[in-house]
Structure 1
Amino acid sequence: MAKDTYLKKVLGTPRYDKLRSTKVLMVGAGGIGCELLKDLILSGFGEIHIVDLDTITLSNLNRQFLFRQKDIDKSKSLTISKAVESFNYFDTKLVPHHGNIMNTKQFPIEWWGQFSYIFNALDNLEARRYVNKMSLFLKKPLMESGTTGYDGQIQPIFPYVSECFECQAKATPKTFPVCTIRSTPSQPVHCITWAKEFLFHQLFDEIESNEAVNENNLQNETDNKQEIENIMKETNEINELRTSIKNDSSSIFIKRLILKIFKIDIERTLRLESLWKSRAKPTPLNYEENYETDLLGLIADEKTNDEKILDQDTKIWSVLENLYVLYRSSVNLQKRLLKGEEKSITFDKDDEDTLNFVVSSSNLRCFIFNIEIKSKFDIKQVAGNIIPAIATTNAIISGLSNLSSLKYYDGAESKKTLDHFSTTFISIRPNKYVTSASLLGPNPQCASCGLSTRGILEINQDQLSKMTLNDLIESIKSKYNYNGDLSIILGSSRLIYDYDFEDNLETKLCDIKGFVNQELLLIQDDEDELENLELFINYNSSTQLELPQLTLRQKKVPVTEKPQPVEPVAADNQPIYIEDEDSLIRDAEEIELDEQPSLKKRKTQKPIEV
């Protein structure tokens, strides 16, 4: 019996044949990616490209089952491709890419065009938005997925037919006022944020001029002039300590650090009596009298105490033990900077030196402000923005992603409407273990797909030196029936033309700063009659100037709820021109979903039958 006999019976021969000849992209090779790649291979997909920037760490192994301890520090994408060889029964072609999916040089628009389907298995918001944007430019179907603890969801996305990733607002990371963090912390998270974002960053990380504490910003948070003066003074003194790292011995630098941060600064804050009228006063750390001698004793036997203290991640360290951890991490960080191999050091939850510094300094601050001290394990969750990831949840969501995508290949794509597909949620809430909801059409107010249409502007470099901006504007007006004036923005915010700014009209495109390959061009109708048009500049040696075949929607025309057919991908896997990740941000490798599943109410329907 042929090895694909049962798979053909399950999928049907026509769909099986389609899968065998298709080429798909999977972005992310972490918790969801490991499970999803297994499912895609066992479903018979012909060719799978895997993109991930990260390398494997020890903390990945509890749920990323394709990795082993021997794989630590190796590329995720390369390792995952080799790990599945033992069960690649249908000889799926695997193409790993170690790189940032947002790197337009490594992954240009033409590269994206080869895929019939995109699967997201990402752990950060920025990369998700980028992939969503590429999906909109090329009209490629996208399967969005994510988990957080026992909760998870999948969202099939069909550009301009269903909601895109940006159609619903995403939760933003919680922030705290500077004055709360710097002067009046009341929760462990305040102290952890202070240790990570202020103390560690100011001492060891790269500091840019625009990152300095701004007195004007502080005035928006407090009208206490003394408090503002204190914060500004503390910042200047930290800069002096930063200089001390390279000029003083370890013992002198660390003693200065402890006395300044945990005694002098606290005593200065206590003088602001207005802050303590309704709050418990902090207690300065009496280091020289109560702890210095005992700390020197611990330091004398570093080997023994490293095992007793540093390796105990779940233990609540005493004040003395936290001082020891602060000393050991500071010594190591100072040595690394003095070697000259690193000009600055950025916090990384998997870097023991940086993590230990943040843990110990935040705990000492908690002690001073009468706040509960936390274990290293607990603080790592907060400092690393880690949302608990559960292997079973990842497996279920990956399975649903795979099953839902199979409906796209069942041979009747052009007749399908949104009702054929569902967003699916899982949880452990009673009667809510698995629920699904019909896909909705694009949000008319979505900046990505509701207020704009995207396409690719093809142009060769020779044409760039011949065509002026005015020539391009006239071509755009003629192509898309603009009746009035336009505004054109290049890149993220550079205005190159509007009614009152015509300086660049006769400038050759090649001479306009920023008009380069893989850049964005936003065209806005000043008459506010047509939706925005966003063009992706793509240098094409065989094309003089080719604007995408698009029909811009009238802003005043009401949006209908009538289901729209899902357009199939061209048979040759080339982009449909009716209308496409360099460092995957390493916010937290454990995060499987930056935001909670949508709370928007939808009409539920029966589970998908595949």
Structure 2
Amino acid sequence: MKAENEGHQKIDESLYSRQLYVLGHEAMRRMANSNVLVVGMKGLGVEIAKNIALAGVKAMAIYDPAPVELSDLSAQFFLRKEDVGKPRAEASQPRLAELNTYVPVTVHTESPTENPQSLSKYQVVVLTETSLDDQLKINEFCRQNKIYFISADIRGLFGSIFCDFGEEFSVIDATGENPVSGIISDINEEGLVTALDETRHGLEDGDHVVFSEVEGMEKINDGTPRKVEVKGPYTFSIGSVEGLGKYVRGGLFQQVKMPKIINFKSLADQLAKPEFLMSDFAKWDRPSQLHVGFQALSKFASAHAGKLPRPMNDQDAKEVIALAGEIAKTVEEGAPEEIDAKLLSELSYQAQGYLAPMAAFFGGLTAQEVLKALSGKFHPLVQFMYFDSLESLPTSTARSEESCAPIGSRYDAQIAVFGRDFQDKISNTKEFLVGAGAIGCEMLKNWAMMGLATGPKGSIHVTDMDSIERSNLNRQFLFRAPDVGKLKSERAAVAVAVMNPELDGKITALRDRVGEDTEDIFNEDFWEVLDGITNALDNVEARVYVDRRCVFFRKPLLESGTLGTKGNTQVVLPNLSESYSSSQDPPEKSFPMCTVKSFPNRIEHTIAWGREVFDASFVNPAQSVNLYLSQPSFIESTLKQSGNQKEILETIRDYLANDKPLTFEQCIEWGRLKFEKLFNNDIQQLLHVFPKDSVTSSGTPFWSGPKRAPDPLVFDLDNQEHQDFIVAAANLHASNYGLNGSSDLNLYRKVLDSMMIPDFKPQSGVKIQANDNDPDPNASSGFADQDELKNIAESLPAPATLAGYRLTPADFEKDDDSNFHIAFITAASNLRALNYGIQVADRHKTKLIAGKIIPAIATTTALVTGLVTLELYKLIDGKDKLDDYRNGFINLALPFFGFSEPIASPKGKYNDTEVDKLWDRFDFEHNLTLKELLAAFEEKQLDITMLSYGNALLYASFFPPAKLKDRYPMKMTELIEHVSKKPVPAGRRNMIFEICADDRDGEDVEVPFVCVKTRDA
């Protein structure tokens, strides 16, 4: 047990890596010292417990002595039919314990209400399926004993959560956003700070900043946080600067997170004077109505031996409404003006209902609040939140007391909300899931619980080309340690078939990427039979491709994504909404090359530089050498290209001859020379070109503003950063050549003590790009001297003399801590940072930036997939109005929830015909000739001016008559093959053409694309 606790303190970064980028090490350490109790093990309770276990608390206990019922299987994914009759907690515990070997899961055996002292060992108590009277008792005990308290419930399509973290709860980081920083150009006498070169500072009123390197106002550099009042996007005020001196130049500001204190009220106080977090700004009146409605349900159950209102029973609904009216009189603030009988009737109708997506939504939300309580990271929910998705109720099937009554099925809790007829629709759906990672696992779990595709006509296809890695286990909860290395789609399919055996034989697991190169697998027959597609992807390129397929085949698409505590959902509706590709994410942030090469001022710049040095040292040279050795025409093609031919040839020469190591000791020497060049010689050369006292043509110091004057480094093997670089560089160089590496410092010391490092003398005449807008003086303007290139090429050893010889490129892999990839980039970046006086970054931060890692946490994933599945109900129902659907954006850190109806697809018009620019197209059912196609559009009073297929221009009105004469009689397939010189794939039945056309008035108009059937139709 001692080793396990030590592991907690050290934090297993290989397991928690993606979550660490969301929470940070300090928050994780706090969580790793905390015990949590979850009361209630139905669908919501197990979702909460699952997410807490994955997050990595010290220990978790669960309490629920009630026997498992068959209807629990509508949402409780860790229960099986054979568990019916067993205590829920005992049946759930073994499967929860498998989720994370660092988190022991035990069964709490004492009643929290009968023996509240048993709660004293926990830092957080979470209640589900608990009566209001018991909630009040337990909340009072928790407040007295400084135990964080959360209560959550779901009733059909309704849900609620309440948080009480006691008085003076300290939030150490309310948003989780990275602190902003910037360079200063001025601080005036009134304390107005101006950012350099009109760079947006990114601060908000009430933020705090500290200053450094400010000249003339040295006292301001004392590290005192100063409160900000924003005056504009480029300016902010820090108040009086009297006595701090007069600003001369320079300076940096850095935002610092200040603690926020929140005073929570008890549950009893909040029932009378509730504070609501809005979950949907289009439903302003819902919180007050549901506040009394949920209390009324609890009172109803107390009066009926714990039984909730019967599904669709009007008599029970009237009683609930009457109770709500009485309760409303006791609410001092925030009471509803009048009871919404229709809304509360629906709450009563669904009270016995239990839906997997609602459990996922509130399970993710509640678990995140647990983590906030334990860590102080992110702003907690204050203090009630109610949510509903009444839009998900079906309109295509009728509901009645009879149709919603239990039938002895595992889906009875879902039938209680939707009725049997809609359950049949769910079971006969054909769905395609693209991706089986974090979102894919949660999606499949939701589908298994709701019985998707379990009917005779139903099917699920899931594809994912990736294999399971250890870092996946922290949030892709269908996988366990023995699954590492196996295919995600296959293991996920097996796991959910265990959760719901009715899925056995209904899921087809594929390992293929969905793209143009796999259209023989995902062909027209495949797409046409689907009812819908759900994306669970992590890259834009694949999302765009799937989106375009959905548009072509007019299939609905459910799109979602997460980034740390943020998540979004989008519904793409044929003939109604815009598609995923209709809008684009902002381009990935990049840094100017000049800044990265010579004038870094932020650690992000040096990390980008370190990654480039990694590729230039251990990837590109090895690839060039292998191409030279394997392709006889490589030299000839290199000589013909423009740009860096000389660099390529010199690299091959050096790596095959001059720099080719025979022993690991020579790799150590190579690494030492690399250090000298990068961190000493190159810096000396830069300072020779631009001395520290240089001034610009306008007389201002050259090294000012964003430019930080560097200093060369003097190598010292006892310096950890220097040591890390040499060890990583030597081992990577050895790996290129297939030599065995070593980290034995005695060996390094022995080699380096005997090395002679030549003195460096800066060269005159060397030019360095001084500003990003200036041309690079060293950029190649075209072809190098051919005679010089041929001389280098002739000096290379003939490939025949090196038969079978190959180098091994260091294919970048961020998650393997033993391969020295991140180690090298971290060391190189930090040494570069030390050159320029920039604060260094640890391996963890370097890995995030260099590896372009997407931070992820299980709580957000669970919540987002819950929202997506609520939209799936609507698609299965066949709802055909935009306002029936919701796109969502959430940020659990704040917390914030925003919903809106999907944006309508763009409309257009040609002549007198209105068209949908996205979904409409001109369909032709046979493989007609070019002349027939043009004539068909003439009948529509459209004159085609250009016709293209992909990159092939098939027709243009400006083509000479002789060319057109040959093309007019060609069938469209023949024309494509004639122009593109490629055959139309044999299995393709549809050809997509883009056209430019003029209307009858000769005006250019935007018209839909053209679809023509091939000869294989």
TM-score after normalising by structure 2: 0.44
Structure with more contact order per residue of length (Cα contacts < 8 Å, sep ≥ 6): 1
**Displacement after TM superposition at 1:264 (Å):** 2.7
Matching residue within 415, 424, 436 for 2:899: 436
CA change 1:324–1:253 in 2 (3 A) is closer
Matching residue within 497, 502, 516 for 2:955: 497
1:123 equivalent in alignment to 2:538: yes
Instruction: For 1:322-337, list aligned pairs within 5 A.
Output: 322-335=725-738
Q: Which amino acid aligns with 2:491?
A: T
CA change 1:39–1:129 in 2 (3 A) is same
**Displacement after TM superposition at 1:438 (Å):** 1.9
Cα deviation, 1:410-452, whole Å, max 9, x if unaligned, reads 3x53xx311111112222365x53332122212459xxx7467
In structure 1, distance between residues paired with 2:490 and 2:545: 22
Cα deviation, 1:369-414, whole Å, max 9, x if unaligned, reads 222221211111111212311101100111111111101223x53x
Q: Which residue of 1 aligns with 2:509?
A: 96
**Displacement after TM superposition at 1:247 (Å):** 2.4
**Displacement after TM superposition at 1:237 (Å):** 7.2
CA change 1:355–1:421 in 2 (3 A) is same
1:66 equivalent in alignment to 2:524: no
CA change 1:364–1:532 in 2 (3 A) is farther
Q: Which residue of 2 aligns with 1:308?
A: none
| SS, match of residue 441 in structure 1 | coil
CA change 1:97–1:360 in 2 (3 A) is same
Contact 1:516/1:537, CA 8 A, preserved across alignment: no
Matching residue within 350, 358, 365 for 2:815: 350
TM-score after normalising by structure 1: 0.71
Superposition CA RMSD, Å: 3.7
Instruction: For 1:11-410, list aligned pairs within 5 A.
Output: 11-46=418-453, 47-91=459-503, 93-102=506-515, 103-197=518-612, 199-201=614-616, 203-205=618-620, 206=623, 247-249=660-662, 250-273=667-690, 276-278=702-704, 279-287=707-715, 290-291=716-717, 318-335=721-738, 344-351=809-816, 352-410=819-877
CA change 1:20–1:490 in 2 (3 A) is same
Q: Which amino acid aligns with 1:90?
A: E
CA change 1:29–1:495 in 2 (3 A) is same
Cα deviation, 1:494-546, whole Å, max 9, x if unaligned, reads 323211235362563232324623675322225555434335677562x2xxx
CA change 1:444–1:369 in 2 (3 A) is farther
| SS, match of residue 580 in structure 2 | coil
In structure 1, distance between residues paired with 2:807 and 2:549: 35
In structure 2, distance between residues paired with 1:483 and 1:474: 9
In structure 2, distance between residues paired with 1:360 and 1:538: 58
Q: Which residue of 1 aligns with 2:412?
A: 5
Contact 2:565/2:893, CA 8 A, preserved across alignment: no
Contact 2:738/2:808, CA 8 A, preserved across alignment: no
Q: Which amino acid aligns with 1:442?
A: S
Contact 1:363/1:374, CA 8 A, preserved across alignment: yes
In structure 1, distance between residues paired with 2:1010 and 2:703: 58
Q: Which moved more, 1:347-356 or 1:114-123?
A: 347-356
Contact 2:943/2:997, CA 8 A, preserved across alignment: yes
**Displacement after TM superposition at 1:259 (Å):** 3.0
CA change 1:74–1:246 in 2 (3 A) is farther
Contact 2:992/2:1012, CA 8 A, preserved across alignment: yes
Contact 2:671/2:726, CA 8 A, preserved across alignment: no
Matching residue within 474, 478, 484 for 2:934: 474
Contact 2:434/2:537, CA 8 A, preserved across alignment: yes
In structure 1, distance between residues paired with 2:823 and 2:604: 16
Q: Which moved more, 1:46-55 or 1:253-262?
A: 253-262
**Displacement after TM superposition at 1:97 (Å):** 0.9
**Displacement after TM superposition at 1:342 (Å):** 6.7
CA change 1:452–1:262 in 2 (3 A) is farther
Q: Which moved more, 1:273-282 or 1:356-365?
A: 273-282
| SS, match of residue 409 in structure 2 | coil
- In structure 2, stretches of 5+ residues that fail to align are 1-407, 454-458, 628-633, 697-701, 741-801, 909-915
Cα deviation, 1:61-103, whole Å, max 9, x if unaligned, reads 1111111222222211111111222212433611111011113
CA change 1:159–1:451 in 2 (3 A) is closer
In structure 2, distance between residues paired with 1:211 and 1:138: 44
CA change 1:524–1:474 in 2 (3 A) is same
Contact 2:737/2:808, CA 8 A, preserved across alignment: no
Contact 1:132/1:164, CA 8 A, preserved across alignment: yes
> Percent of counterpart pairs with the same letter?
28
Contact 2:830/2:840, CA 8 A, preserved across alignment: yes
Contact 2:952/2:979, CA 8 A, preserved across alignment: no
Contact 2:606/2:832, CA 8 A, preserved across alignment: yes
Q: Which residue of 2 aligns with 1:524?
A: 996
| SS, match of residue 475 in structure 2 | coil
**Displacement after TM superposition at 1:241 (Å):** 5.5
Q: Which residue of 1 aligns with 2:53?
A: none
CA change 1:156–1:35 in 2 (3 A) is same
Instruction: For 1:408-447, list aligned pairs within 5 A.
Output: 408-410=875-877, 413=879, 416-428=880-892, 433-443=896-906
Q: Which amino acid aligns with 1:477?
A: F
CA change 1:202–1:476 in 2 (3 A) is farther
In structure 1, distance between residues paired with 2:591 and 2:952: 31
| SS, match of residue 474 in structure 2 | coil
In structure 1, distance between residues paired with 2:638 and 2:1009: 32
In structure 2, distance between residues paired with 1:133 and 1:55: 26
- In structure 1, stretches of 5+ residues that fail to align are 217-230, 296-316, 544-610
Q: Which residue of 1 aligns with 2:33?
A: none
In structure 2, distance between residues paired with 1:234 and 1:342: 18
Contact 1:33/1:121, CA 8 A, preserved across alignment: yes
In structure 2, distance between residues paired with 1:105 and 1:201: 38
**Displacement after TM superposition at 1:145 (Å):** 0.6
| SS, match of residue 90 in structure 1 | helix
Question: How many correspondences in the alignment?
Answer: 487
In structure 1, distance between residues paired with 2:726 and 2:578: 52
